[in-house]
Amino acid sequence: MFDNELLKQVSEKARLWLREGYDPQTQALVQTMLDNDDKTELVESFYKDLEFGTGGLRGIMGAGSNRMNIYTVGSATQGLANYLKENFKDLEQIKVVVGHDVRNNSRLFAETVANIFSANGIKVYLFEGPRPTPEVSYAIRLLGCQSGVNITASHNPKEYNGYKAYWDDGAQVVSPHDVNIIDHVNRINDVREIKFDGNPDLIEMIGENIDAQYIEQIHTLSLSPEVDRRQHDLKIVYTPIHGTGRYMVPRSIERWGFDNIIHVPEQDVMSGDFPTVDSPNPENASAMAMAIKKAEEVQADVVLASDPDADRIGVVIKNTKGEYALVNGNQIVMIFLYYLMARNKELGTLTGNEYIVKTIVTTETIRKIADKLGIKMYDCFTGFKWIATVMRENEGKARYLGGGEESYGFLPEDFVRDKDSVSSIPLMCEIAAWAKEKNMTLNDILIDIYKTYGYSKELGISVIRPGKSGADEIAQMMVNFRENPQKEIANSPVTRIKDFLLLEEKDVVTGKVTKLQMPATSNVLQYYTADGTKVSIRPSGTEPKIKFYIEVHDTLADAKDYDAKNDWADAKLARIARDLGIQ
Q: Residues near 495 by Cβ (< 8 Å), separated by ≥ 6? A: 507, 508, 509, 528, 529, 530
Cα 468 to Cα 486: distance, rounded to the nearest angstrom: 27
DSSP state for residue 328 in the 8-state scheme? P
Of 547, 549, 550, whose CA–CA distance to 571 is shortest?
Answer: 550
Angle between helices 133-142 and 421-437 (to 10 degrees): 110
Residues 312-338 as b or e (16 or more Cβ within 10 Å = b): bbbbbbbbeeeebbbbbbbbbbbbbbb
The answer to whether the beta carbons of residues 565 and 455 sit under 8 Å apart is yes
Cα 12 to Cα 34: distance, rounded to the nearest angstrom: 10
Cα 158 to Cα 273: distance, rounded to the nearest angstrom: 6
Cα 132 to Cα 339: distance, rounded to the nearest angstrom: 25
How would DSSP label each residue in 406-466?
A: TTTEEE--SS--S--HHHHHHHHHHHHHHHHHTT--HHHHHHHHHHHH-EEEEEEEEEE--
Amino acid in position 498: K
Cα 46 to Cα 7: distance, rounded to the nearest angstrom: 10
The answer to whether the beta carbons of residues 384 and 416 sit under 8 Å apart is no
Of the residues 154, 407, 421, 423, which is catalytic? Answer: 154
The answer to whether the beta carbons of residues 305 and 136 sit under 8 Å apart is no
407 is catalytic: no
Instruction: Using only the alpha carbons of the chain, give its radius of gyration.
Output: 24
Cα 525 to Cα 505: distance, rounded to the nearest angstrom: 10
Cα 358 to Cα 401: distance, rounded to the nearest angstrom: 11
Residue spans of alpha helices (H) in 279-364: 285-298, 329-347
Report CA torsion sign: 416, 419, 423, 427: positive
Cα 518 to Cα 534: distance, rounded to the nearest angstrom: 19
- Count other C-beta atoms under 10 Å from residue 5's C-beta: 8
Amino acid in position 553: H
Active site residues: 154
